[in-house]
Amino acid sequence: MEAASTAAAAAAAVASGGDAKGMDKNTLVAVLQFLNKNNLQGAEQALRKETGFFDAVSAAGSGGQASSDVGTVLSVYKSEGDPDAYVSNYVSLKAFVEKSLDAYKYELGQLLFPVFVHMYLELVFNNHPADAEAFLARFGPDQEDFFQQDVQKLSHVTCPEHMQENELIQQFRSSAYTVRMCRDSHVLLKRHLSEKQHSLLLGLVQDHVVLDVFEGVPRSKQLIHLTAGALEGDPGRQVNKTKMLFGLLREPDIQLTVPVEEDDEPEGDDKPKKKKAKKDALVSKKSKNDPNAPNPSRIPLAELRDMDKREKAKSLREAMKRATLGPDSLPSMCFYTFLNAADNVSCVTLCEDSSMMAVGFSSSTVRVWSLIPQKLRAMKSADELADIDKDADDVLVRMMDERSAEQSRTLAGHSGPVHGVSFSPDRTLLLTCSEDGTIRLWSLQTWSCLVCYKGHVFPVWDVRFSPHGHYFASGGHDRTARLWATDHHQPLRIFAGHLADVDVVEFHPNSNYVASGSSDRSVRVWDVSTGSCVRVLTGHKGVVYAAAFSPDGRFLVSGGADGAVLCWDLASGHLTAALCQHTDTVCCVQFSRDGAVLASGGMDDCIKLWDFQKATEDSLAEEVGAAQPADAKVGAELALASFATKHTPVLVLHFTRRNLLLAAGPLQT
């Protein structure tokens, strides 16, 4: 726990350092911290109010201190007032919300949960356990469904001593709950608070809720409902304003293609030439300067080796043959069912060229299957390797021991269930992460463990290689996502900010960003280069278990325990579509290679296909930076098809280079 909180503090420092634009801000931070340290709250709050833009920074700062100096944080709860006032105040706020005009009702309604939480905590802090219990029993059930779990956890806290160590309470304390509302709603609220003389309510709202006021019409009921759900409330207006370089990196020139092609197709000279011409067109189209693309040197990437270039060329050639998908031409699907493994399989992944499948088991082992006729071979022993002619063309083939070929191989080394597996782009390495808190790097040539990365303190839930290799990201129970490089045993970046476990991580196609989905029901996008959080996406009503970037890098799709698949426009941070037709947890989402079709699968034994082109055409048409998000589309009109499996949850979805959909899951008996 300590490590997690120090990590949080470190990252907060990173974040504030990244955000700070000048000396001015830094000074102010110092002053704030001084005031905070000496318990001069009045002055601190006055200063905080005057410099409105400091809210985010100071909130993050106090988050870091929460565990070190709980006393100061808790002392915000003043021991004034009688317990009955809380009930009457809450009732009056509820009545005010319900009596408001429909236009403002839903915006104001979002205040109820944070007020409820902090009223309860104040009652507990001021030693009114009976009143607190009654308050919770009376108003707890009124809260939205997705808050019920938090309410349940809250109910465990019944005396002030508990508050010091409870994670959830610390979260409520450390991060201010943000509520977005339009100017009119704000005015209404202010009038209500002041004219009814609710000093209690007023103090609460001022202390613990950030009111993010914007000009314009109030948000619609549907939009509010779609984006509600996160533990920290709405993301502040400023949070998603950072410019994100979501374009793709320029494809490197591949000069090596011609000889390779001749190798593969020795039948004539005409064909390769034709193909080469076509491919040039394809490459040049991509290499046009995209204004949204990051500079290729923004983060250092590994140089392409000859092998990688050959692989790229092969991939491009395959891409020419791929099926075009759309509403009228649905993909074919091939399903891999695991037999005799009902409760044992915990994660599955396929490598980019669909030749291998890796499965992580609850029994701590990892198994790799070859999906093509070519079997999995191990490298020869050192003595035999010495005999090989190193200048031979097929030295890579000769290195491998033909006698060791097997259909599947097992990797053992973890001491807890394996929760994540990921292939490196060149298919020579495999990453696995486990409940034992370690990440392991395996060689798929020697079939042995190369590195054991120890950094996460608690179980690691997911690990993902960067599409350009070398880097990888992980997320775990310690509420952080981390960026690693394979040649460093310590993480390069720690992305702290989530309020609960990080359950899934995913790399952006340009490797400059990492998305993380969390049990706090939010998705965040982190900048690999600065380590700061550039997008906070809220709307899930349950734990987020799956995430995928669209092939063009502009959109992010996430799926969660609430059965919803949400599509986000990264340019604006707005929700573009909410696809809610799954009846159980969504375990995986995947885009077809051309980005036209989105597939999602989950615990409801079902794979659903969605028309992603239609989902995004509006947001592609509108200019970037529209203040108010267009209404998000809902699932019905975008659904293309649904295919049920036979008692087999879908754990992974993967489009091959030719747009054949592969899926896998264990048969439940």
Partner 1 sequence: MKVKQRRAEQEPALAGTLSLDSVRVAAESVGICGLPDDAIRELAEDTTYRLRQVVQPLYGVQSLEHVPFRFTSGGGRELSFQDERDLELGELVSAQMPKAPLETTIRVHWLCIDGVQPAIPENPPPVALEHQKQESTNPASRIGKPPAASPASALPTKSGPQRAKTIETVSVKQLAQHELSVELQLYYKEITEACVGSDESRRAEALQSLSSDPGLHQMLPRLCNFIFEGVKVNVVQYNLALLIYLMRMVKALLDNQTLYLEKYLHELIPSVASCILSRQLCARPEADNHWALRDFASRLLAQICKNFNTSTNNMQTRVTRLFTGCLRGERSSLAATYGALAVIKSFVLPQVKPLGCRLERLSEQPVVSPADRLATTHLKQLFARGLTPLLKQLRSPPDVVEQYQAEYGYLGPMLCAAVSKARSQTAAPQTAGTASLGASKVAVGAAAAAAASAQAAPRLGTPQRTIIVSGSPAAAGGSGRLVVLGGPRAAAPTQDRARAKRGQKTARGGGLAVLVRDGISVTKLKMSSPVDTHLETMWLLMSFAGGRSAVIGAAYRPPDGRTTDDLEALRHQLLEAVGTGSRLYLLGDLNIDPWVENLPRPPRPWPG
Does position 105 bind partner 1 by CB under 8 A? yes
**Rounded to a whole number, what is the largest CA-CA distance in the chain?**
92
Strand 400-406, strand 565-569: pairing? unpaired
Minimum distance, C-beta of residue 328 to partner 1, in the bound complex (Å): 9
Q: Which is nearer to partner 1, 228 or 547 (CB)?
A: 228
Q: Which of 8, 429, 451, 640 binds partner 1 (CB under 8 A)?
A: 640
Query: What's the distance, CA 562 to chain centroid?
Result: 15
Minimum distance, C-beta of residue 97 to partner 1, in the bound complex (Å): 8
Q: Which is nearer to partner 1, 102 or 215 (CB)?
A: 102
Q: What per-residue string of b and e applies to 99-118 under the rule 16 or more CB within 10 Å gives b? A: ebeeebbbbbbbbbbbbbbb
Minimum distance, C-beta of residue 650 to partner 1, in the bound complex (Å): 9
Q: Which is nearer to partner 1, 124 or 441 (CB)?
A: 124
The residue type of 177 is Y
Does position 112 bind partner 1 by CB under 8 A? yes
SS3 category, 55: helix
Q: Which two tokens stand for residue 56?
A: 């985010």
**Residues of this chain, 588-607, that bind partner 1 according to CB under 8 A:** 607
Strand 574-579, strand 565-569: pairing? antiparallel
**Residues of this chain, 172-231, that bind partner 1 according to CB under 8 A:** 224-225, 228
Does position 159 bind partner 1 by CB under 8 A? yes
**Residues of this chain, 125-144, that bind partner 1 according to CB under 8 A:** 137, 140-144
Q: Which is nearer to partner 1, 228 or 378 (CB)?
A: 228
Does position 343 bind partner 1 by CB under 8 A? no
Rounded distance between C-alpha atoms, residue 497 and residue 536, angstroms: 10
Spell out the residues 6+ positions from residue 420 whose beta carbon is closer than 8 angstroms to its own: 347, 360, 431, 432, 433, 460, 461, 462, 463, 464, 474
SS3 category, 597: strand
**Residues of this chain, 490-549, that bind partner 1 according to CB under 8 A:** none
Is-contact 55 210, C-beta < 8 A? yes
Region near partner 1 per CB under 8 A, out of 101-109, 184-192, 252-260, 495-503: 101-109
Minimum distance, C-beta of residue 408 to partner 1, in the bound complex (Å): 8
Does position 102 bind partner 1 by CB under 8 A? no
Q: How many CA atoms lie within 13 A of 274 on its CB side?
A: 6
Question: Exposed, middle or buried, 432 (CB in 10 Å: 0-12/13-18/19+)?
Answer: buried
Q: Which of 54, 106, 125, 555 binds partner 1 (CB under 8 A)?
A: 106
Does position 152 bind partner 1 by CB under 8 A? yes
Is-contact 10 497, C-beta < 8 A? no
Rounded distance between C-alpha atoms, residue 155 and residue 294, angstroms: 48
Region near partner 1 per CB under 8 A, out of 157-165, 252-260, 380-388, 531-539: 157-165
Does position 458 bind partner 1 by CB under 8 A? no
Q: Which two tokens stand for residue 302?
A: 């590994």
Q: Which of 344, 443, 445, 529 binds partner 1 (CB under 8 A)?
A: 344
Q: Which of 155, 364, 443, 529 binds partner 1 (CB under 8 A)?
A: 155
H/E stretch holding 638 reads none
Q: Which is nearer to partner 1, 19 or 406 (CB)?
A: 406
Region near partner 1 per CB under 8 A, out of 150-158, 254-262, 309-317, 444-452: 150-158
Minimum distance, C-beta of residue 617 to partner 1, in the bound complex (Å): 20
Does position 579 bind partner 1 by CB under 8 A? no
SS3 category, 620: helix
φ, ψ for residue 447 (rounded to 5)? 55, 50
Rounded distance between C-alpha atoms, residue 399 and residue 607, angstroms: 41
Q: Which is nearer to partner 1, 189 or 341 (CB)?
A: 341
Q: Which is nearer to partner 1, 458 or 643 (CB)?
A: 643
Rounded distance between C-alpha atoms, residue 419 and residue 550, angstroms: 24
Nearest to 500 by CA among 531, 470, 526, 523: 523
The CA–CA distances, whole Å, from 627 to 214, 566, 572 equal 10, 20, 9
Render 263-285 in DSSP notation, one character per residue: HH-TT-SHHHHHHHHHHHHHHHH
**Residues of this chain, 312-341, that bind partner 1 according to CB under 8 A:** 329-341
Does position 645 bind partner 1 by CB under 8 A? yes
Q: Which of 157, 376, 557, 570 binds partner 1 (CB under 8 A)?
A: 157
Q: Which of 345, 494, 499, 533 binds partner 1 (CB under 8 A)?
A: 345
Nearest to 456 by CA among 10, 7, 9, 12: 7
Does position 288 bind partner 1 by CB under 8 A? no
Q: Which is nearer to partner 1, 54 or 655 (CB)?
A: 655
Q: Which is nearer to partner 1, 141 or 266 (CB)?
A: 141
Q: Which is nearer to partner 1, 51 or 92 (CB)?
A: 92
**Residues of this chain, 363-402, that bind partner 1 according to CB under 8 A:** 367, 369
Neighbours of 305 (CB within 10 A): 10
Q: Which of 50, 82, 102, 161 binds partner 1 (CB under 8 A)?
A: 161
Minimum distance, C-beta of residue 156 to partner 1, in the bound complex (Å): 5
Minimum distance, C-beta of residue 71 to partner 1, in the bound complex (Å): 19
Rounded distance between C-alpha atoms, residue 113 and residue 91, angstroms: 13
Minimum distance, C-beta of residue 511 to partner 1, in the bound complex (Å): 31
Rounded distance between C-alpha atoms, residue 504 and residue 521, angstroms: 12
Q: Which of 99, 156, 288, 321 binds partner 1 (CB under 8 A)?
A: 156
Rounded distance between C-alpha atoms, residue 278 and residue 420, angstroms: 39
Region near partner 1 per CB under 8 A, out of 21-29, 109-117, 182-190, 294-302: 109-117
Does position 170 bind partner 1 by CB under 8 A? no
Does position 85 bind partner 1 by CB under 8 A? no
Minimum distance, C-beta of residue 538 to partner 1, in the bound complex (Å): 15
Positive/negative CA dihedral, 281, 283, 288, 292: positive
Count of residues that interact with partner 1, criterion CB under 8 A? 59
Rounded distance between C-alpha atoms, residue 387 and residue 391, angstroms: 12
Is-contact 508 514, C-beta < 8 A? yes
Enumerate binding residues for partner 1 (CB under 8 A): 94, 97-98, 105-106, 109-110, 112, 137, 140-145, 152, 155-159, 161-162, 166, 224-225, 228, 329-341, 344-345, 357, 359, 361, 367, 369, 607, 636, 639-646, 663-664
